[in-house]
Amino acid sequence: MDKILLIASANKNKLKEIYNILKNIPFKKRSLDEIKFRGHIEETGRTFRENALLKAETVGRKTGLLTLAEDSGLEIDYLTGRPGIRSARYSPGTDRDRLNKVLEELNGVPEEKRSARFVCVAALFDPQKKRTYFFAGESRGYITEKPQGKRGFGYDPIFYNLDLKKTNAQATFREKNRVSHRARALFKVKEFLGDGN
């Protein structure tokens, strides 16, 4: 019987990245939609780790499946770590509204004070062992003065990635998935679960 890894996310952009990064693991990957999981999980944690744990354990306990969840966000030094765990809820509306709010808050701030990092914490809950494993990753950069690039999602157009030497939104899907915060956390998950190659 095929082993199943349930990905506890409803975000289609995140799912696409996660499926791509974990493509060779010896597990069948399933999304919440695919297993018809219904139920909203309130992200009440105060850290990325707490939110990832909450999602992985809630879903894993209800389904009995090995469950992977992640929480991630953008931390800007000048804004004392904001938007942080509230990255997806920083402003009502669209990704563009949230991105514009950040740009407004950094209006007139020089480049050397616009340092930022994307952080990801992945939690893997094993219902058989009743144990959760954690994997973290981050990518460093700074916030640009205006959006650049058409790819990616969220804050990608304003995050200049120091590894890529361009914004995440100017990078190809493949380039971003080599060095992003999510990739760095998920490469550790991949190593833990075993690579199918």
Q: How far apart are CA 168 and CA 118, in angstroms?
A: 11
Q: Which entry of 71, 77, 163, 195 is annotated as an active-site residue?
A: 71
| Sole residue written with tokens 């950069």 | 141
Q: How far apart are CA 84 and CA 17, in angstroms?
A: 20
Cβ contact 120:138 at 8 Å: yes
Can 95 be counted among the known catalytic residues?
no
Cα dihedral: 169, 173, 176, 181 (round 10): 100
- Residue 101: its H or E element: helix 95-105
For residue 49, give the nearest of 115, 138, 114 by alpha carbon: 138
83 cis-preceded (ω within 30 degrees of 0): yes
3-state secondary structure string across 45-59: CCCHHHHHHHHHHHH
Give the residue numbers marked as catalytic: 71
